């Protein structure tokens, strides 16, 4: 199944560069409120702040797996990035959330 971004299919994940990092770093970076006086900036930051705690309380071995274009100067991915935050439940099953971002 293709993943769409603004009605355009993204490249298959297997064809993209991969970056694996500790999930907490990725999640807590999303909580940052860049414009504290703008409600449209505060509300997304507040919502994101609920996610890391819920995941950390319910899942073990959390990892952030990001798929995108290789960054030209750093060991990371760039461009239209697909993000999976994956962990294990108490019974050992995998559970995840999926999100995306456009990074330059």
Domain 13-103: state its class.
alpha beta
Which residues touch 11 (CB under 8 Å, ≥6 apart)?
A: none
β partners of residue 69? 78
Alpha-carbon gap, residue 50 to 84, rounded angstroms:
17
pTM of the model: 0.71
- Residue 64 tokens read as 């952030």
Alpha-carbon gap, residue 23 to 2, rounded angstroms:
25
- 26-82 confidence digits (pLDDT tens): 776 666 667 778 777 777 777 777 888 889 899 999 998 888 888 888 888 888 888
Domain boundaries defined on the chain: 13-103
């Amino acid at each position: 199944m293709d993943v769409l971004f603004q009605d355009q299919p993204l490249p298959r994940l297997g064809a993209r560069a991969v970056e694996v990092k500790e999930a907490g770093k990725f999640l807590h970076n999303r909580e940052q409120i860049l414009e504290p006086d703008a409600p449209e900036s505060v509300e997304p930051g507040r919502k994101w702040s609920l996610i890391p705690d819920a995941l950390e309380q319910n899942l073990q071995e959390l990892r952030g797996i990001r798929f995108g274009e290789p960054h030209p100067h750093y060991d990371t991915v760039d461009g239209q990035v697909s993000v999976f935050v994956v962990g294990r439940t108490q019974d050992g099953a995998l559970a995840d959330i999926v999100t995306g971002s456009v990074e330059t």
